[in-house]
């Protein structure tokens, strides 16, 4: 896919600077913080944002907890504009604007260069559709928001970003469950590596907190019922975990070719080296027990990056806090990295910000980029009694000051969809 040169003396793989992909901007609307700096402050604070749901009455369901975002669209856009966008599109538009500002780019500038946006979302505007169905039942067709048809489809967020910013380049949405945001980033990076564009925006957005949408997950028993202690409900790799915690939010990254970023003197967070995806072909909710295809996604990311397992220092795990996923992911890491798995650090951040489904992989990629830039590995919140089956060096709550050079970042989703990114400090 990308031109690569092999140095015969060192064995290192090099890629031309106009094909290397770097992260220069971060936009984030998350339960633990708003914007790049807010997100990082939330990581360093190490305090879970999970609380009892306030958005609706969750008492009919066994789970009553979620990670909500404090977000007023009128802080970011006019009232007229806010009425034309549902919550997941609002998140995406604001995160994209933040990413541009953080990168020191302008919408006019990147539009002239053919930039576009890729957005992943597991559920798109389904929560808004649920709200409008309730209005229809109460008031009939005249009670329904006329923007309904334009808000619920999966491509609405990306489309609204292109309209808001005036982008005419590639626009793509995917609904690959909890791997959506990471897949959007990986696919956007491929456009830059293939020389089709120099700049792309990419990430994920999710707004799933509505009664039936939330209840659907409760009914298949994949979310935590630790209602008496909401802050401890999401506990990746802990022996007492009982399911993930649904969250909302968005993260969008500004991606550039290295030559483009250097030409304008941009601040660079990290480099995206490689990307891999695979499918379990096993079950809609349960991971493949042997972890083979999750490992394959990591192996593909390593191969795409031209890296050997001994060059990885850290893995940011999917770490969903479900009974089956966490030990299976640890097994997959061992399969992918072999003996090197005993040397690396591993952590999962969903104990802090919950699991925003298709947006989470993008949030965690943003966290990884700042971890590489700032020399701190995020902690695994609520890890009290590590599951013996998760037998890796799990970074404890509070994190660890450690400068690592290269990492893998994982996202796995319903349907057995696996994605992994290889990233490097620069």
Which tens digits make up the pLDDT trace of 207-224?
999 999 999 999 999 999
Residues making up the chain, counted from first to last: 426
308 has pLDDT over 60: yes
Tokens of 78: 């006019």
Check: CB of residue 119 under 8 Å from CB of residue 157: yes
> In Å, how far are 298, 346, 348, 370 from 315, measured between CA atoms?
10, 5, 9, 14
Nearest to 175 by CA among 123, 116, 248: 123
Give the HSE-up count for residue 342: Cα atoms under 13 Å, Cβ half-sphere. Answer: 2
Q: At what angle do helices 87-103 and 156-165 cross, to 10 degrees?
A: 50
Identify the band that residue 325 occupies on the pLDDT scale cut at 50, 70 and 90: very high
Q: What is the pLDDT of residues 44-70, one digit of tens each?
A: 999 999 999 999 999 999 999 999 999
pLDDT at 8: 45
230 has pLDDT over 90: yes
Taking residues 270-274, report their average pLDDT: 98
Identify the band that residue 10 occupies on the pLDDT scale cut at 50, 70 and 90: very low
Residue 160 neighbours by CB under 8 Å, 6+ apart: 85, 89, 92, 93
Identify the band that residue 18 occupies on the pLDDT scale cut at 50, 70 and 90: confident
Lowest mean pLDDT among 9-18, 22-31, 100-109, 194-203: 9-18
- pTM to 2 decimal places: 0.96
Q: Using alpha carbons only, what angle is made at residue 72 by residues 70 and 73, rounded to the nearest 5 degrees?
A: 135
Exposure letters 276-304 (e unless 16+ CB within 10 A, then b)? bbbebeeeeebbbeebebbbbbbbbbbeb
Phi, psi of 355 (to 5 degrees): -115, 100
Looking at the structure, give the CATH architecture of the domain made up of residues 274-424.
3-Layer(aba) Sandwich (3.40)
pLDDT at 306: 97
Identify the band that residue 12 occupies on the pLDDT scale cut at 50, 70 and 90: low
Question: In the annotation, is 178 catalytic?
Answer: yes
pLDDT at 81: 93
pLDDT at 108: 97
pLDDT at 4: 55
Taking residues 344-362, report their average pLDDT: 98
423 has pLDDT over 50: yes
Check: CB of residue 90 under 8 Å from CB of residue 77: yes
Q: What is the pLDDT of residues 93-143, one digit of tens each?
A: 999 999 999 999 999 999 999 999 999 999 999 999 999 999 999 999 999
Choosing from 178, 330, 368, 390, the catalytic residue is 178
Taking residues 266-287, report their average pLDDT: 97
In sign, the C-alpha dihedral spanning 376, 51, 385, 391 is negative
Q: What is the mean pLDDT of the chain?
A: 95
Identify the band that residue 5 occupies on the pLDDT scale cut at 50, 70 and 90: low
pLDDT at 129: 95
- Fold of domain 21-263: Peroxisomal Thiolase; Chain A, domain 1 (3.40.47)
Taking residues 300-327, report their average pLDDT: 98
Check: CB of residue 19 under 8 Å from CB of residue 257: yes
pLDDT at 274: 98
Taking residues 325-332, report their average pLDDT: 98
pLDDT at 14: 73
> In Å, how far are 180, 182, 367 from 419, measured between CA atoms?
9, 7, 17
Structural domain spans, the chain: 21-263, 274-424
Taking residues 165-183, report their average pLDDT: 97
pLDDT at 354: 98
């Amino acid at each position: 896919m990308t031109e690569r040169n092999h140095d015969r003396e060192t064995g290192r793989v090099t890629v031309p600077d106009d094909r290397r992909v770097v992260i220069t901007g971060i936009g984030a609307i998350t339960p633990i913080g708003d914007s790049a700096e807010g997100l990082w402050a939330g990581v360093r604070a190490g305090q879970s944002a999970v609380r009892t749901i306030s958005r609706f009455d969750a008492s009919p369901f066994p789970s009553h907890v979620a990670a909500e975002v404090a977000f007023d669209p009128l802080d970011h856009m006019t009232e007229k504009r806010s009425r034309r966008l549902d919550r997941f599109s609002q998140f995406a538009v604001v995160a994209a604007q933040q990413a541009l500002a953080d990168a020191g780019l302008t919408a006019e500038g990147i539009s002239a260069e053919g930039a576009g946006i890729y957005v992943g979302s597991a559920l798109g505007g389904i929560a808004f559709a649920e709200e409008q169905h309730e209005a229809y039942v109460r008031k009939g067709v005249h009670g329904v928001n006329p923007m309904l048809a334009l808000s619920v489809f999966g491509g609405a967020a990306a489309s609204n970003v292109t309209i808001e910013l005036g982008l005419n380049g590639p626009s793509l949405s995917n609904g690959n469950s909890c791997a959506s945001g990471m897949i959007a980033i990986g696919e956007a990076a491929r456009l830059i590596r293939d020389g089709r564009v120099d700049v792309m925006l990419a990430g994920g957005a999710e707004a799933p907190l509505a009664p039936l949408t939330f209840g659907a997950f409760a009914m298949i028993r994949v979310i935590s019922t630790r209602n008496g202690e909401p802050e401890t409900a999401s506990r990746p790799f802990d022996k007492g975990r009982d399911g993930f915690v649904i969250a909302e939010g968005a993260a969008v990254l500004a991606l550039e070719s290295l030559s483009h970023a250097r030409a304008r003197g941009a601040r660079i967070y990290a480099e995206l080296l490689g990307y891999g995806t695979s499918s379990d072909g096993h079950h809609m909710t349960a991971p493949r027990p042997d972890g083979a295809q999750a490992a394959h996604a990591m192996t593909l990311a390593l191969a795409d990056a031209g890296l050997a397992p001994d060059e990885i220092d850290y893995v940011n795990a999917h770490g969903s806090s479900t009974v089956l996923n966490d030990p299976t992911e640890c097994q997959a890491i061992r399969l992918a990295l072999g003996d090197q798995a005993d040397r690396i650090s591993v952590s999962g951040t969903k104990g802090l910000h919950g699991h925003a489904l298709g947006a989470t992989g993008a949030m965690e990629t943003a966290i990884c980029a700042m971890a590489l830039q700032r020399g701190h590995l995020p902690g695994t919140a609520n890890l009290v009694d590590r599951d013996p089956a998760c037998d890796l060096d799990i970074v404890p709550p509070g994190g660890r000051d450690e400068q690592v050079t290269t990492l893998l970042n994982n996202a796995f989703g319903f349907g057995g969809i696996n994605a992994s990114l290889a990233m490097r400090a620069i």
